């Protein structure tokens, strides 16, 4: 291992930590959250994510099915017929910018946020 290998490793660690920080930073600036379910690049459905919403969605795609559960402001893919089960193992997501992907089914479950200025003024 040469000196430059070590520099490379340190550089990549710094870049990825900075990237994680950016992703996190982007997530914390919103006061209204949405769950978007996107299949094959087109939006399937969209919900306002708050603590009250409790919904189980069974999604049929060409390749199989996914069961998505929204509860307590969190979203999880509970079941999937895909073979790698990465979407299930990803666990819960709750912050804007977080995303669950099921590549075999071309499914994306993502949380987005918006700045709702009217709310903050009226409070």
Partner 1 sequence: MNKTREYIFLALLTAFAVLLSVFENLIPLPIAAPGAKLGLANMVVLSTLVVFGFKKSFTVNIVRTFLILIIIGNPISFIYSFTGAISSLIVMYIVYKYFSNYFSLIGVSIFGAVAHNTAQIATASIILENTNIFSYLPIMYLISLFTGFFVGFSSNFIVEHLKKVLNKVNWR
Which of 5, 54, 62, 117 binds partner 1 (CB under 8 A)? It is 5
106 binds partner 1 (CB under 8 A): yes
Task: Kindly report the number of other CB atoms within 10 A of residue 78's CB atom.
Answer: 13
What are the strands, taking DSSP E only, across the chain?
32-39, 42-49, 55-61, 64-71, 74-80, 99-102, 107-114
Give the max Cα distance, the chain.
Answer: 61
What residues numbered 6-45 form the site for partner 1, per CB under 8 A? 8-9, 12-13, 15-20, 23, 38, 40-41
Task: Kindly report the number of other CB atoms within 10 A of residue 40's CB atom.
Answer: 11
What residues numbered 43-72 form the site for partner 1, per CB under 8 A? none
Binding-site residue total for partner 1 (CB under 8 A)? 33
Q: Which stretch binds partner 1 (CB under 8 A): 51-59, 67-75, 80-88, 114-122?
A: 80-88
Q: Which residues of 91-101 are buried (b: 16+ CB within 10 A; e: fewer)?
A: eebebbbbebb
Residue 63 or 123: the one with the smaller Cβ distance to partner 1 is 63
- Binding residues vs partner 1 (CB under 8 A): 1-2, 4-5, 8-9, 12-13, 15-20, 23, 38, 40-41, 83, 86-87, 89-91, 97-99, 101, 103-104, 106, 108, 110
């Amino acid at each position: 291992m040469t000196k430059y290998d070590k520099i490379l490793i340190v550089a990549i660690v710094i870049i990825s930590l900075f990237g994680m920080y950016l992703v996190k930073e982007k997530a914390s600036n919103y006061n209204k959250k949405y769950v978007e379910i996107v299949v094959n690049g087109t939006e399937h459905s969209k919900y306002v994510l708050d603590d009250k919403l409790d919904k189980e969605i069974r999604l049929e795609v060409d390749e199989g099915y996914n069961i998505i559960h929204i509860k307590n402001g969190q979203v999880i893919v509970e079941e999937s017929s895909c073979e790698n089960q990465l979407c299930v193992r990803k666990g819960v997501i709750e912050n804007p910018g977080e995303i669950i992907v099921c590549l075999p089914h071309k499914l994306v479950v993502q949380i987005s946020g918006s700045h709702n200025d009217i709310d903050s003024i009226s409070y």
